[in-house]
Structure 1
Amino acid sequence: MGFRVIKTAIATLMSILIANAVGIPSPQSAGLLAILGVEVTRKRSLRTVTARFFASLVGLLFACGLFALFGFHFWVLALYVLFGFPLIVKSSFKEGIVTSSVVVFRVFGSGNVSLDTLLTQIELLVIGLGSAMIVNMIYMPTGGEQMMDIRKKVDGLFAVIFSHVGRTLRDPNYIWNGNEIIEAGKAIQSGAQASNRAMENQLVHPDEAWNIYFYMRREQLDLIMLMMQIIAEVYQKLPQADLVAELFEQLSGDVTVEQYTGRTEQLLSQLEQDFKKMDLPTTREEFEVRSSILQLCRELSLYLKIAKKNKTSVPEPEKTRAFFL
């Protein structure tokens, strides 16, 4: 059973009990309004409840005008739908079309347009939507544990990817299907969605750390896919490829370490200096392959810079003070 279903049940029961205690006829209508008002985040709840309340007021006033002019006939309801819905949309309250229809149909069912009827519908709106708002505001899951699990999964997939990259550099004939890249992309997207929900549950000073983390991983995954295109051009086994393979093997271990170690960055810097001291290529094929290897090192350097730049942004509650590589 989803958490939203539990919140909806609580809000529905609370609104019906309050409406019944106040003495409003058909108190179950308040429960229906509460169902429409329950949302997955606090900020979305504020937007939704506000839109539904004011949309209902606009629709209620417009419908009462129609009922006063033409009476309580079924075709008048069609007029309300035909002209009232566009009016609500133009008023920027399109999320409240269904809610407004609930109160309008209640007025139609009563067959009476009076101040007492209007006040009763407004009371229903306040009780129903207010109950949903209260339930939404009382508690919302932080999602911290979920995002931590996703992060561990992403880091593990990155480790496997780098291990395959190292093996490919050592053996150009090695075949890898790249499934981990697809899985990492899905996990990052799932984590980004979870972090957005978490931010919408923080009304004051929202923590953007998780958003930054998954955005960083998205950037790094883009670089990894670019690296894979470059690696495809390393069609010949060379000593330089073995040296770069060591970097990715080191990175495969560092990516799951809690802090940014800088070991791969130091090795890469030293390797770039060593490359400058090596003899120039003697064949065209060697030149092409070594050029690809050098470009691969440059992309790896960009990857490490992204990690280093964002290393202090992991949320404190999870006791992780640095982003992974």
Structure 2
Amino acid sequence: MGFRVIKTTIATVLAIVIAHLLGILNPLSAGLLAILGVDVTRKRSIHTVSSRFFASIMGLVMSSVLFYIFGFHIWVLAVYILIGFPLISRANLKEGIVTSSVVVFRVFGGEDVSFEALFTQILLLIIGLGSAVVVNLIYMPNEEDKLTGIRRKVDSLFGLIFERIASQLRDPDYVWDGQELIEASREVELGLSTANRALDNQVIAPDEAWAIYFYMRKQQLDRIESMLQLISQVYQRMPQGEKASVLFDQLSIDVKRETYTGNTEHMLQELEKEFKAMELPHSREEFEIRSAILQLCRELALYLDISRTSKYPTEKSIRKRAVKQKT
């Protein structure tokens, strides 16, 4: 918010100075239009300013016709609002209603629909909204460092989650409050919003790597939640649980690495072969627990499949604008 205020200040002063140098009457109107044009991202700014400009032109044409035919009366202004606002909205220019109102009210206040008066309003629009676009395009904060920090925190939280899962598989009496899962979900959502904002600031050759990474993590959180439901069914110590815990120990290490190692996937394949070679369960309880562990391994396979097919940026790839796979 603080940075946006600074941008708004610069755009406003710039618009007023330009309008004053061009000798336009009441240059403060250009500053007001600049305030309305400043936005949080480059793409959104371009879209907003375009909507405001064309909505203002549309409103200027409609109001000028009404004022020319019926004169400058309050009831004519009311008719314009009743007719103009719905038409502007239907034209998908709803964001420009306020800006168009500023222009129309200036024409109404000046009681002049001559070509010179209308040209002055268009000039003010170009100066005010143009100043806002220029300020937005010149500089936007770089989100790379922030995104890298969020990624590191997410990776660390995922590592802790897998350590907790391994502990539960070894000892079903182990109590975990799931706080890391809540924090990871919050950080992933923060990463997604930050990545989308950074993407909107890239007008030319946008890089979607960060958005892909955080979307991947969001998908993997769904898989982890399914794993936790299955782990709750493992209420006794079992050799299969001990073996499965080793997988999550390895995954807690791999998840922090920059590249997809495939270590956990290879260990999982070997474990599945062992499971197939084991004797059948001797009791219903053993069957239920082993079934839950087997389902857990299948959920883990889905998690790893997401890792293998998705990509995300590492610190090295940010510099090289490349993308590496991540566990």
TM-score per shorter chain, which class? over 0.9
Question: Match for 1:317: what amino acid?
Answer: I
**Match of 1:175?**
175
Question: Match for 2:39: what amino acid?
Answer: E
What is the RMSD of the two structures over their aligned residues, measured on CA atoms?
1.6
**Match of 1:80?**
80
Question: Match for 2:120: what amino acid?
Answer: T
**Match of 1:293?**
293
CA contact (8 A) 1:155 1:324 kept: no
**Match of 1:239?**
239
Whole-Å separation in 2 of the counterparts to 1:70 and 1:179: 68
Secondary structure of the 1:207 match is: coil
CA contact (8 A) 1:45 1:136 kept: yes
**Match of 1:154?**
154
Shift of residue 2, structure 1, vs aligned partner: 2.3
Paired residues for 1:134-149 under 5 Å: 134-149=134-149
Whole-Å separation in 1 of the counterparts to 2:312 and 2:3: 32
1:42 equivalenced with 2:42 (yes/no): yes
CA contact (8 A) 2:213 2:312 kept: no
Structure 1 vs Structure 2: percent identity of aligned residues?
57
Shift of residue 321, structure 1, vs aligned partner: 5.2
Whole-Å separation in 2 of the counterparts to 1:40 and 1:31: 18
CA contact (8 A) 1:314 1:323 kept: no
Shift of residue 271, structure 1, vs aligned partner: 1.3
Paired residues for 1:184-263 under 5 Å: 184-263=184-263
Shift of residue 5, structure 1, vs aligned partner: 1.6
Question: Match for 1:2: what amino acid?
Answer: G
1:322 equivalenced with 2:324 (yes/no): yes
- Structure 1 unmatched ranges of 5 or more: none
Shift of residue 214, structure 1, vs aligned partner: 1.0
Aligned length: 325
Shift of residue 141, structure 1, vs aligned partner: 2.3
The alpha-carbon distance between structure 1 residues 127 and 313, as it changes in their structure 2 partners (threshold 3 A), is same
Higher mean C-alpha displacement, 241-250 vs 176-185? 176-185
CA contact (8 A) 1:67 1:76 kept: yes
Shift of residue 44, structure 1, vs aligned partner: 1.3
1:42-88 per-position Cα deviation (integer Å, ceiling 9, x unaligned): 21111111111110011011111222222222232222221110011
CA contact (8 A) 1:311 1:323 kept: yes
1:18-62 per-position Cα deviation (integer Å, ceiling 9, x unaligned): 001111111111011011111122211111111111100110111
Whole-Å separation in 2 of the counterparts to 1:77 and 1:183: 54
Whole-Å separation in 2 of the counterparts to 1:41 and 1:314: 24
Higher mean C-alpha displacement, 122-131 vs 296-305? 296-305
Secondary structure of the 1:75 match is: helix
Secondary structure of the 1:177 match is: coil
**Match of 2:89?**
89
Whole-Å separation in 2 of the counterparts to 1:184 and 1:192: 12
**Match of 2:5?**
5
Secondary structure of the 1:288 match is: helix
**Match of 2:122?**
122
CA contact (8 A) 1:213 1:314 kept: no
Question: Match for 1:65: what amino acid?
Answer: V
Secondary structure of the 1:204 match is: coil
CA contact (8 A) 1:19 1:127 kept: yes
**Match of 2:273?**
273
Whole-Å separation in 1 of the counterparts to 2:8 and 2:81: 27
Whole-Å separation in 2 of the counterparts to 1:302 and 1:233: 19
Whole-Å separation in 2 of the counterparts to 1:223 and 1:91: 43
Shift of residue 143, structure 1, vs aligned partner: 1.1
> 4+ runs of 1 displaced by more than 6 Å?
none
CA contact (8 A) 2:143 2:198 kept: yes
CA contact (8 A) 2:258 2:325 kept: yes
Q: TM-score, normalized by length of structure 2?
A: 0.95
The alpha-carbon distance between structure 1 residues 311 and 54, as it changes in their structure 2 partners (threshold 3 A), is closer
Shift of residue 274, structure 1, vs aligned partner: 1.5
Question: Match for 1:189: what amino acid?
Answer: E
Whole-Å separation in 1 of the counterparts to 2:293 and 2:283: 15
Question: Match for 1:322: what amino acid?
Answer: K
